[in-house]
Structure 1
Amino acid sequence: MRNIRAQRRAVLLGIFAAWVVSAAFIAAGVLFQVRTGAFFGTPARATAFALSMAGLALVAGIGLAAASRHFLGPIDGGGPAAGSRLDLTLRYVTNTTEQTLAFSLAGVACLFADESLAQRLLPVMGVWFVIARAAFFLGYRIRPVLRAFGFAATFHPTIALLAVVLAQLLA
């Protein structure tokens, strides 16, 4: 029972840390872009960059799963052993697919709702998406409860983006 409490505390700490680090990274990135004028040309190009970054995180996972299956087995397409490198990589791919879909929908909605916001915010969020997915993957490999930071650092900014877009559309 004590172990479960410790794991829950670790997950909550990861979530809280993700909120703080995500907010700081995204705010600093947007501020940098505004101060330097380092935009991606058009809102559509900025959105394309952000969605490409999310796609990169997904493709990296698929490539790792293929390599793990080829070099570490089972190459016949059978299910991996629970907790194996392939099993954890496939879990990463599944979660990253879900996260990529949510982020992509939020990003496209942002582009349609507010091009200026999309141009400033989405490239930064795209870079953060890749960093957060890497943190999820590494955390999972080290100790599964450590994936909480990467999960929250991907999921909660996407929720915030959806909330901002919906608030603008409903205002």
Structure 2
Amino acid sequence: MLFFVGNLILSTFLDAYSIKLIPILATLFVFGRIGFGIGYLKEPMERAFGLGVTLYPTIAVLIYDAYRVLFFNS
């Protein structure tokens, strides 16, 4: 849910050239979830790669969104 909301807000800030970032982030998220699932099936402690690939870009997008809303709201 955070990924969806973060990318939805991010898409309002990006210009025509930078909007290419949204499909890249979506692909990264899907690969991360697949990695999480594979790691969980092998050993629950091996799901860290998938968690990191999905969590860190999502947090970065949310921080950027908050920055843009708070400081560039014009």
TM over 0.5, shorter chain: yes
After TM superposition, the runs of 4+ consecutive aligned structure 1 residues lying more than 6 A away are: none
Q: Taking every aligned residue pair, what percent have the same amino acid on both sides?
A: 30
1:144 alignment partner in structure 2: 44
1:118 deviates by 5.9
Once the two structures are superposed, what CA deviation does each residue of 1:46-68 show, in whole Å capped at 9, x if it has no partner? xxxxxxxxxxxxxxxxxxxxxxx
| Distance in structure 2 (CA, Å) of the matches to 1:168 and 1:105 | 15
Tell me how large the CA RMSD over aligned residues is.
1.5
Cα gap change, 1:126/1:156 in structure 2, threshold over 3 Å: closer, same or farther? same
After the TM superposition, which residues 111-130 of structure 1 pair with which residues of structure 2 at under 5 Å, given as runs? 111-112=11-12, 114-116=13-15, 119-130=19-30
**Of the two, which has the highest radius of gyration?**
1
| C-alpha deviation, 1:153, in angstroms | 0.9
Unaligned runs of 5+ in 2: none
Distance in structure 1 (CA, Å) of the matches to 2:26 and 2:18: 11
Number of matched pairs? 70
Deviation of residue 111 (structure 1)? 1.7
What are the Cα deviations for residues 87-127 of structure 1, in whole angstroms up to 9, with x where unaligned?
A: xxxxxxxxxxxxxx110000111122x13276131110001
Contact 1:136 1:148 in 2 (8 A): yes
Where structure 1 has 5 or more consecutive residues not aligned to the other structure, the ranges are: 1-100
Q: Go from structure 1 to structure 2 and tell me whether the alpha carbon gap of 1:133 and 1:150 turns closer, same or farther (over 3 Å shift).
A: same
